[in-house]
Amino acid sequence: MIRSIQAAQRLDSRGHPTVQVDLTTDKGTFRATVPSGASTGANEAIELRDKDSSAYGGKGVGKAVSNIELVIGPALVQSGLKVDTHQKMIDCFLNNLDGTHNKSKLGANAILGVSMACARAGAAHLDIPLYEFLRRESGAKKPFVMPVPFFNVLNGGVHSGNKMAFQETMIAPVGASSFTEAVQMGSEVYQQLKKVIVKKFGPSATGVGHEGGFAPPISQPHEALDLLVEAVSLAGYTGRIKFAIDPASSEFFRNGNYDIGFKDDKPNLQSPKQLAELYRSLLQNYPIVLLEDPFAETDWDSWIEFNKNCPIELVGDDLLVTNTKYVQEANDKRACNSMLLKINQIGTISEAIEAANLAYSFDWSVFVSHRSGETTDDFIADLVVGLRAGHIKPGAPCRGERVVKDNRLMEIEAEILAREECIYAGSQFRVASKY
Ligand code: PGA
Ligand code: ZN
């Protein structure tokens, strides 16, 4: 039984306020803290901000906190719903209480915090780990599959102060034999990358962006990839580490064209066709295995065209916003072949699982992701294992709010291996759900 729900305004990794929930049952108190994005999709569930410029520049979440304490908490306690068996009913109850299609009344940040805390409490009541609770909720098969971490080691776009238009350039240790080894490989490359950056640009260029990746004074995608080729080679992992790019292109879509100079002094407009050619040449010249949001969330035609002949994983983030409505539309239109899963884009755990299962039903991949505004909550580590999604975006192997996910995943891997079979997704990360 849920006894009480408390909430508080706390800070995220960027120093902006976010929602923290403490849910108390007869088994104890269970905490969840909510992430927040910077390059958000237009159709994401609504994150409630106070818009009172006298506090936190308008970014306070006091209303969301009081919605939990005054509306959601009392209603959920009164409902008699049980955390161990009623996660879907709880999430449905929260949706009905809000009553809007995008959680704009109570706030997706308020609702998600409660949904996450309920899942944690549910696992504790059943005396099982959170990843096993989420596996049962999702219906995923066993054995457990550990994900490939796609470490975002070079930050650009709206996540950094350099002139790089593309938001994320990632390394994926697909050639590791376990998640724990993948972390070691990622960490070693990250440290080599730092040395390469110092050598090329000096020590002042080693500052990091929102997700812990470096943000040296580069502007072109090939410059980023060349840095990675060198760092991977110095670490001795050539061939065992692949690359991925998330340009987050909705951020630089301007009247039908893409301004890849949007952070530079002068615009550098590319037509969708030219941008597609740029991607194709990068795919030819570098070991890239995944491309996310190469086109803007409204530019469906370019997605559809690119997906006609796409040899790699093509992930919809802003395009799909973890929402079954857009996942269905994208499958109908053959616009992509993978869904990025961000829990706060949709606002409840059950709906995020439902979106993942719909994506799987189309033989798509599912890529679980953090946000640029993170917290030390490690929920998504359990989620990626519970969903058997095979890959995760945890940020760089650096900074507390990022590495807490890696550390939890190493702990999960050791815990499962001590008891039963556990596979590392490796080069099969796209089809992990089908093992
Ligand atoms: P965001 O960035 O959390 O700022 O939206 C992450 C992404 O675009 O994948
Ligand atoms: Zn993205």
Written as six digits, the tokens of 222 are 């090939």
Q: Which of 167, 252, 336 to mutate to test the pocket of ligand 1 (most atoms within 8 A of CB)?
A: 167
CA within 13 Å, CB half, 395: 31
What is the rounded distance in angstroms from the CA atom of residue 422 to the CA atom of residue 148?
A: 13
Give Cβ neighbours of residue 418 (< 8 Å, ≥ 6 apart): none
Q: Is the dihedral of CA 373, 379, 385, 387 positive or negative?
A: negative
- Active-site residue, from 137, 188, 211, 297: 211
Q: Which of 39, 40, 246, 251 to mutate to test the pocket of ligand 1 (most atoms within 8 A of CB)?
A: 39
Ligand 1 proximity of 157 Cβ (cutoff 6 Å) = no
Looking at residue 268, its pLDDT comes to: 97
Looking at residue 131, its pLDDT comes to: 98
Q: How far is the CA of 23 from the centre of ligand 2 (A)?
A: 31
Looking at residue 328, its pLDDT comes to: 99
Q: What is the pTM of this model?
A: 0.98
420 is annotated as an active-site residue:
no
User: By three-state DSSP, how is residue 412 classified?
Assistant: helix
In ligand 1, the atom with minimum distance to the C-alpha of 36 is 3
What is the rounded distance in angstroms from the CA atom of residue 154 to the CA atom of residue 141?
A: 35
Cα 96 from chain centroid? 26
Q: Which CATH superfamily is domain 138-434 in?
A: Enolase-like C-terminal domain (3.20.20.120)
CA within 13 Å, CB half, 292: 28
What is the rounded distance in angstroms from the CA atom of residue 132 to the CA atom of residue 408?
A: 14
Helix, strand and coil percent figures for the chain, each rounded to 5:
45, 20, 35
Q: How far is the CA of 251 from the centre of ligand 1 (A)?
A: 11
Give Cβ neighbours of residue 308 (< 8 Å, ≥ 6 apart): 334
Looking at residue 236, its pLDDT comes to: 98
Looking at residue 344, its pLDDT comes to: 98
Ligand 1 proximity of 250 Cβ (cutoff 6 Å) = no
Shortest CA distance to 343 belongs to which of 15, 11, 22, 36? 36
The structure tokens 């609770």 sit at 133
Binding residues for substrate: 159, 168, 292, 317, 369-372, 393
How many residues does the structure list for the chain?
435
In the chain, list all ranges with CATH 3.20.20.120: 138-434
Binding residues for Mg(2+): 246, 292, 317
What backbone phi and psi angles, to 5 degrees, belong to 137? -60, -35
What backbone phi and psi angles, to 5 degrees, belong to 18? -145, 175
Cα 380 from chain centroid? 8
Looking at residue 265, its pLDDT comes to: 86
Q: What DSSP state is assigned to residue 264?
A: S
Q: Provide the pairing of β-strand 17-25 with 28-33.
A: antiparallel
Q: What DSSP state is assigned to residue 160?
A: S
Class for domain 2-127, per CATH?
alpha beta
Q: How far is the CA of 223 from the centre of ligand 1 (A)?
A: 22
Looking at residue 435, its pLDDT comes to: 83
211 is annotated as an active-site residue:
yes
What backbone phi and psi angles, to 5 degrees, belong to 418? -70, -10
In the chain, list all ranges with CATH 3.30.390.10: 2-127
Ligand 1 proximity of 402 Cβ (cutoff 6 Å) = no
User: By three-state DSSP, how is residue 165 classified?
Assistant: coil
Ligand 1 proximity of 317 Cβ (cutoff 6 Å) = yes
Task: Walk along the chain (435 residues) in steps of 10 and give the mean pLDDT of each run.
Answer: 97 98 98 97 98 98 98 98 98 98 98 99 98 98 98 98 98 99 99 98 98 98 98 98 98 98 95 98 98 98 98 98 98 98 98 98 98 98 98 98 99 98 98 94
Ligand 1 proximity of 40 Cβ (cutoff 6 Å) = yes
Ligand 1 proximity of 270 Cβ (cutoff 6 Å) = no
